[in-house]
Amino acid sequence: MLRKLLGLAPKLEQDGSYSPSKIALKFSVSEKTNYEEINYQKYEGSKTKILVIFTEQKNMVMKNGKLFSTGNHPVEALLPMLHLQKAGFEFEVATPKGLPVVFEMWAYPEKDQHVNAIYNELKSSFENPIKLKDFIDTSFDDTDHYAGVFIPGGHGAMLGIPDDENVGKILRWANKSDLFTITLCNGPGSLLATTIGDREFLYKGYKMCVFPDSVDRQTPMIGYLPGHMPRGLSETLSNLGATLMNTKFDDSVCVDRKLITGASPLSSNNLGKLAAETLLKELK
């Protein structure tokens, strides 16, 4: 009761899940983003497509059994896509089973005109994505038209995607085809899909930024999460041989070979700029 009075209690949703508390939202969500509009010299080659893999799942079961209302973080998805779009790239939206994309709408920046514009432009694709298996069947032989794969963050990126063999196949296809892989925050959890079938971690020895487990362990105290995470991400990646470049919830970004990563929602704008600039430079 005291936590509720102080605004520290997670909000109970109609489906029995919990979204972040009033205090947590006050410190973690803004009506506008720090999106930086840049006039890029647009890419004019043939590799214009970027496959964007979203989660279609909403509720994460925490260690205490409570459900966290999650999905794809809208800022982590849409800011990088804004930069990539401005640089001349287009998107093919996909989910594991072809179900609609799920966003953490409690984190949506309602008064950001740029975010609203691209969200509305792509809304039909978010509601009617392609199925990953269909992408594999139709596009694996079409590398000439793809620049890379983007997997947005949000805790929902840990739902289904790291355990999906088709995600692993696509990441290995991108790596073998010399395409870029772009991800941030909890999105690097998708990279774990390359270990399915007891295979060696594809990104062993890579430098990367990722959301720190230390922050996830603290956020239940302010009601951002309704309990502790079912598993740690940064520790798992480190144990598999990744070199983590950040220890804090910050705007860090990193490029190692064809992997471009960011640390948290705060890195969304930086990641978008880095991805756009890197792709434009490398695909000349």
Annotation marks residue 209 as catalytic: no
Place of tokens 């800022």: 75
Closest CA to 69 of 113, 114, 12: 12
CB 130, CB 34: distance < 8 Å? no
CA dist 240 and 110 (Å) reads 39
One of 60, 78, 184, 185 is an active-site residue; which one?
185
Closest CA to 91 of 275, 282, 278: 275
Q: What residues have CB less than 8 Å from 259, skipping those under 6 apart? A: 180, 181, 203, 206, 208
Instruction: Kindly list the catalytic residues.
Output: 185
